[in-house]
Amino acid sequence: MISKVKSTKLVEIFFYVSDAYEKELKFSCERFSNNSCPAFSDQEIMTVYLFCINQEQRTKIKQIYNFADQYLRSWFPKLPSYAAFNNRINRLSEAFRLLTASLLQTHQPADCSAQESLLDSLPVITCSGKRTGKVATELTDKGFCSTKSLYYYGLKLHALAFRRIKRIPFPEQLLITPASENDLNVFKNSWSNIENRTFFGDKIYHNVDYFENLAASQNSIMLTPVKAIKGQSEWEKQHDKAANDLFSKAVSTVRQPIESFFNWLIEKTDFQRASKVRSANGLLVHVFGKLAAAFIYLIFNP
């Protein structure tokens, strides 16, 4: 059994998922077979997954199933075996992606700045770079995380987030790419058409010529910490050091909250570690299912 407060939240999650499922999600996982209406529905599977991560901090499929088996049987008497549960949930990766997009669109806070955005990326690690990645090779490859000084196999989650004063930023768009994809290339391909915006990024987004053209064409600018110029003399470095340090500190202070956003995501869902994943669909469920589980919190705290 679970407490009355959590029971209420379980019901709220179920009704929210059921409503979204009827409006949109069912078209992403429609079955064309005699088993098109299984006894344990897709809505129930998604509810169990989201509730166990969001309310019970059970972040692995085995933990989620064991908790549901022990404490949620009275709510879900048709809960199947672990193997069937695991197989069923791996078919719902697209449904979780659509649910995440819906949550971000419908629960955007009123204090989001439409003129200022923060940029960063977060590695999703399937295995260490010392080994050879063999899981979801059609989605993953080998990359390097400069923050952790770590080579790894996996994905990157790229975030374009609205700035919020003295609060964690709220994602405007979230994209996934193989680990080797350069953050600047992602910006050029996906977000370079945004007009009248000030972007705050880290040094990887430093490209003077490109962003001068962007400012002229889209009236959007990119602010990053000052990057050292190769071949610059020591006198030139010291001459501009004070101004460069102040500017870099100011930019880093503005963009620091997006790191807090990633830390919050990791703390809530153990998002960064995907070493237990064994398939491409499982990896997509890990990404979009955990994003949905994190943002389902907004239902209770708008």
In percent, how much of the chain has pLDDT > 90? 77
Three-state SS for the chain is: CCCHHHHHHHHHHHHHHHHHHHHCHHHHCCCCCCCCCCCCCHHHHHHHHHHHHHHHCCCCHHHHHHHHHHHCCCCCCCCCCHHHHHHHHHCCHHHHHHHHHHHHHHCCCCCCCCCEEEEEEEEEEEEECCCCCCCCCCCCEEEEECCCCEEEEEEEEEEEEECCCCCCCEEEEEEEEECCCCHHHHHHHHCCCCCCCEEECCHHHCCHHHHHHHHHHHCCEEECCCCCCCCCCHHHHHHHHHHHHHHHHHHHHHHHHHHHHHHHHHHHHCCCECCCCCCHHHHHHHHHHHHHHHHCHHHHCC
Q: Is the pLDDT of residue 266 over 90?
A: yes
- Which CATH architecture best describes the domain 115-273? 2-Layer Sandwich (3.30)
**Least reliable range by pLDDT among 29-33, 73-77, 209-213, 271-275:** 29-33
> Between the CA of residue 44 and those of 86, 110, 239, 269, what are the distances in Å?
13, 32, 64, 20
Q: Is the pLDDT of residue 135 over 80?
A: yes
Residue 8 has a pLDDT of: 92
Over residues 187-207, the mean pLDDT reads 94
Domain residue extents for the chain: 4-91, 115-273
Q: Is the pLDDT of residue 108 over 60?
A: yes
Average pLDDT over all residues of the chain: 91
